[in-house]
Amino acid sequence: MLAEPNFVTLSRRGFLGAAAAAAGTVLLPGRGWARQPALGTTWFEWKKLTQNVYVAAGEGGNSIAIVGKGELILVDSKNPGFGATLRREAEALGHGPVRTLINTHHHADHVGGNSAFTKDCVVLAHANAKPRFAAQEKRLVDGGRNSIGQVAKNPKSGKEAVIKDLEAYVASAPKASDFEPTKTIATSETLTIAGVKIELTHVGNGHTDNDLIVYLPDENLLHGGDLLFHKVWPFVDRPGGFNSEGWAKSAEKIIEIAGEKGVVVPGHGAVGDREIAQKQRQFWIAMRIKAQSAVQAGETREQFIKRPWDEYKDYGAADWIKPIALGGVYDEAAGVPVG
């Protein structure tokens, strides 16, 4: 059985730091790459993407803050223990309090901050996500505890407030129920929250069995969650619902929704346009063929993982996600039971 990723350890090793730096470079459709101005001194790296949407990179998957009428809507809440920091910095943008949080899927680096919102906000996720919180309770609690020492060693200014947030998080002894969504959807829905039209699309099993694509038609901006890893090896979670064919189909849906000029926010990596989804789709189509051919040819799992893979040499997180991705798609092709 493949374990879920320890994204707190991952971020300390520098991967998410690199992703944060990359997210500072935004591909504005039709205008090329442009360095966006930072929004003051904050722990997360905040960038304004459109008139009413900001992205926050670092300490987990990319989060976005959406400006509504007198309030904010957040998408994803970072690694365990960073929810209070994320909320404080989002509200410091000056557009009102956070009233709604949307989770793109259940992994800890996207829902680890949920406990800072569940008591007084609507926390929305796909119905399949809710039962998965109990199984990752220890990961959620320990993640915040482990982050205290890591943040303390970080030379970045402003860490004292973040450490206080993490210490308060650990002292609160959160339970799985403190992270669970307060509202769920079973399929795809279009909602209007604080005057903002939000289209939530669930294609089916892909990265997990509870992926939500978040699209803002008035901003022409899409958050793909971890259906999109931009120049990063994609994490495979077979027990969590991974399906390579479904993942390719989800990427195809993202291409359709985003269109030629849409801004696309991946779960990890730099913000760009639908090319991110095109490359993700191509990755899984190609990888399915390669894995099936390897199994048919009698190539072992270890041999498959140890191939040169030069076409993906610029992908991040090769040290640990790469073997998980390759091993996962090989096991799927080989029909290895999930367990």
Q: Show the tokens assigned to 202.
A: 């669930």
Q: pLDDT band at residue 203, thresholds of 50, 70 and 90?
A: very high
Pairing of strands 183-185, 45-50: unpaired
- Does residue 213 register a pLDDT over 80? yes
Answer with the residue of higher pLDDT: 217 or 35. 217
Give the model's pLDDT for residue 41.
Answer: 84
State pLDDT tens for residues 295-307: 999 999 999 999 9
Sign for the pseudo-dihedral over CA of 56, 250, 209, 2:
negative
Using DSSP, state whether 97 is helix, strand or coil. coil
What integer is the mean pLDDT of 61-79? 98
Across-strand partners of 54? 48, 65
Of all residues in the chain, what percent carry a pLDDT higher than 90?
A: 88
State pLDDT tens for residues 153-168: 999 999 999 999 999 9
- Does residue 101 register a pLDDT over 80? yes
Answer with the residue of higher pLDDT: 26 or 289. 289
pTM: 0.91
State pLDDT tens for residues 269-286: 999 999 999 999 999 999
Give the model's pLDDT for residue 2.
Answer: 29
Give the model's pLDDT for residue 40.
Answer: 65
Give the model's pLDDT for residue 72.
Answer: 98
Give the model's pLDDT for residue 37.
Answer: 44
What integer is the mean pLDDT of 119-148? 97
Q: Smallest Cα–Cα separation from 101: which of 92, 112, 93?
A: 112
Number of Cβ atoms within 10 Å of the Cβ of 225: 29
- Does residue 16 register a pLDDT over 60? no
Give the model's pLDDT for residue 23.
Answer: 45
CB within 8 Å of 52: residues ≥ 6 apart: 66, 67, 196, 218, 219
State pLDDT tens for residues 256-271: 999 999 999 999 999 9
Give the model's pLDDT for residue 39.
Answer: 60
CB within 8 Å of 126: residues ≥ 6 apart: 105, 184, 185, 186, 202, 210, 211, 212
Q: Smallest Cα–Cα separation from 60: which of 121, 103, 120, 92?
A: 103
Give the model's pLDDT for residue 19.
Answer: 43
Answer with the residue of higher pLDDT: 336 or 37. 336
Where in the chain are the domains? 7-334
- Does residue 48 register a pLDDT over 80? yes
Q: pLDDT band at residue 109, thresholds of 50, 70 and 90?
A: very high
Of all residues in the chain, what percent carry a pLDDT higher than 70?
A: 88
What integer is the mean pLDDT of 211-225? 98
**7-334, what's its fold?**
Metallo-beta-lactamase; Chain A (3.60.15)
Contacts of 318-326 with CB under 8 Å at 24 or more apart are: 318/233, 319/13, 320/10, 321/5, 321/232, 321/233, 321/234, 321/235, 322/233, 324/2, 324/5, 324/233, 324/235, 324/236, 325/233, 325/234, 325/235, 325/236, 325/287, 326/287, 326/291
